[in-house]
Structure 1
C-alpha cells in the first residue's frame, strides 16, 4: 500500500472539504493505493454526527464521493465532476469507531464517464455503506486548465496499516 501525494496542495484557492488538510471544517481525508483500490482510513468524531454517536449520512456520502474522485485522479490521471451519486446505508457508522475504511475502485469506463464502486466498513470490517459514483472525466487539456498535472504516490515504500 502506497500513500498518494495530494496533487492540489500547492494550488491557489484549494480548500476542499474532503481532502484539504488546512480546511478546519473539513474531514481531512488522506489516500492510499492498494492494487486497484484507492483507500482512506478515517477517524469519525462527534462533530460529524447526525443522531447521537451516529455518523451523519451526508458525511458518509461525502466520504464516498471524495474517495471516488481520488480514483479519477490516481487511476485515470485526470480530474472530473460527479454527475451521479447513489448511496445505500446498510448499518450505522458510529462516531465512536476508532477508524473506518473507505475503499473505491473503478468498475467501468464508457467513453469519458467513470463508474466507481465505493464501500465504507467499520473497524470490525462490517459493511456499513456502499455507493456508486458516476464521474464525467476531463480531457487532458481541461484537466491541465484546472491545475491538474499528475497524481503520484510518495515513493516505492509499502505502508502497512
Structure 2
C-alpha cells in the first residue's frame, strides 16, 4: 500500500470537510492505494455521533462520498462531482471503535460517467455500510483551470501496516 499525496495540500482556500488536514471541523481523511482499490483508515470520534456511541449516517455518507472522489483523482487523474449516491446502512458503527476501514474502486466507466463502489468495515472487518456513487468527471482542462488539479501521485515508499 502506498500513501496518496494530497494534491491540494498547501493551496490557499483549500478547506474540504472530507480531506483538508487543517479543517478543524472536518474529518481529515487520508488515502492509500492498494492495487485497484483506494483505502482509508479513519478513527470514529464522539463529535460525529448520531445516537449515543453510534456514527451518524450523514458522516458515513461523507466518508463514502469522499473516498469515491479520491478513486477518481488517483485512478483517472481528473476531478468531477458526485451526481448520485446510493447508500445502504447494514450495521451500526460504534464511535468508540479504534478505527474503521473504507475501501473503494471503479465498477464501470461510461465515457465521463463513472460508477464507484465503496464500503465501510468496522474494526472486526465486518461490512457496515456500502455505497454506489455515480460520478460525473471533468475534462483534464476543466480540472486544471477550475479545480487547481494537475496530478494525484503516491509516495515512493510502501506503507507496511496502517493499523
Q: TM-score when scaled to structure 1?
A: 0.98
Specify every segment of 5 or more residues in structure 1 that has no aligned partner in the other structure, as ranges.
none
- Alignment-derived partner of residue 153 in structure 2: 152
- Alignment-derived partner of residue 140 in structure 1: 140
- Alignment-derived partner of residue 16 in structure 2: 16
Please state whether the residue corresponding to 1:155 is helix, strand or coil: strand
Between Structure 1 and Structure 2, how many residues are aligned? 161
The CA deviation at 1:10 is: 2.7
Please state whether the residue corresponding to 2:156 is helix, strand or coil: coil
State the distance in 2 between where 1:45 and 1:157 align. 28
Q: What are the superposed Cα offsets for residues 22-66 of structure 1, whole Å, 9 maximum, x if unpaired?
A: 000000100000100000000001000000000000000000000
The CA deviation at 1:13 is: 1.1
Please state whether the residue corresponding to 2:154 is helix, strand or coil: coil
Q: Is 1:79 paired with 2:40?
A: no
State the distance in 1 between where 2:111 and 2:101 align. 30
State the distance in 1 between where 2:159 and 2:15 align. 29
State the distance in 2 between where 1:140 and 1:53 align. 42
CA RMSD of aligned residues (A): 0.8
Specify every segment of 5 or more residues in structure 2 that has no aligned partner in the other structure, as ranges.
none
